[in-house]
Structure 1
């Protein structure tokens, strides 16, 4: 599966720098250092590749974090929330990637459905953690939205908000 992973890793890198229109077989071949035959061995078409790429993004930048935090069952709710923030803010890649995927979702219903699923999973998990921390339902919902919008928005300004500063802003909201 190293070949398939290489294709997906290369695709996320291209997507983050060139957007969805930059996802061409020629660019993928050059980036992955693999052959066109290898591409078609792993993916039936470019459409199939794009679906796999969206699933890979969801796995790496959403589901993996949720699993890691859920696995830390020995931590209290506040510590699990802190762990989630640390995991998300330690990853420098997603800011540009988030922007690229959201732009892609404007024109592609498959990308839009994936992005809606990712947003719902992230917001739902944040809400659950905040409820476990003792927030009342409306406060948990609103605080989850504020945190999520803060992290997403920080990747949309130039220059980007450094992770250390974003961490401080998130903590301010959680006080």
Structure 2
């Protein structure tokens, strides 16, 4: 299993630096130090690899946060879970360029577009739920979730990068 994880982790790094066209078996082999045979042992060609990479992106950049925040439900109220989510997302050291690369990939690939749409819907839906559990009305929760989401996504596309502490403070100002 370590081999499959290595392929996927390296793929996210390559995706973030070279975009989806940079995802080649040769680059993956060079990045992982694993063999081409290992690649084909885990994936049914590049198409299967790209599908697995998108699922891995979805898990690492969305689902794992939702799992961690849901696991805190017994000890934190809605507001506490919202703050935990913001902290988890903003302390993640994964570069924002991976997120941008997936979004660019989605412009030309229906499988990437479907993955991006699932991620966006999951993130926005979860934010909306946490905001409602924090006392916001449904319409306000919907709007504030969008504002928070767009703020974090947009912050990942500006140079120089917005420091996490500043972004965290902006998010907290939005939620009051």
Match of 1:31 in 2: 31
Give runs of aligned pairs for residues 7-46 of structure 1, distance below 5 A: 7-46=7-46
Give the CA deviation at 1:160: 1.2
Deviation per CA, 1:55-82: give whole Å up to 9, x if none. 0000001000000000001211111000
Match of 2:113 in 1: 112
Corresponding position: 1:65 with 2:60: no
1:61 and 1:94 in contact (8 A); partners too: no
Deviation per CA, 1:128-150: give whole Å up to 9, x if none. 00000010011000000000000
Match of 1:146 in 2: 147
Match of 1:174 in 2: 175
Corresponding position: 1:86 with 2:90: no
Query: 5+ unaligned residues in a row in structure 1: which ranges?
Result: none
Query: 5+ unaligned residues in a row in structure 2: which ranges?
Result: none
Provide the rounded CA distance (Å) in 2 between the counterparts of 1:64 and 1:93: 14
Q: Which segments of structure 1 move beyond 6 Å, counting only runs of 4 or more?
A: none
- RMSD in angstroms over aligned alpha carbons? 0.6
Deviation per CA, 1:98-155: give whole Å up to 9, x if none. 1000000001000000000000000000000000001001100000000000000000
Partner SS state of residue 107, structure 1: coil
Question: What's the TM-score, normalizing by structure 1?
Answer: 0.99
Match of 1:56 in 2: 56
Provide the rounded CA distance (Å) in 1 between the counterparts of 2:96 and 2:173: 21
Question: What's the TM-score, normalizing by structure 2?
Answer: 0.98
Give the CA deviation at 1:94: 4.2
In the alignment of these two chains, the number of paired residues is: 175
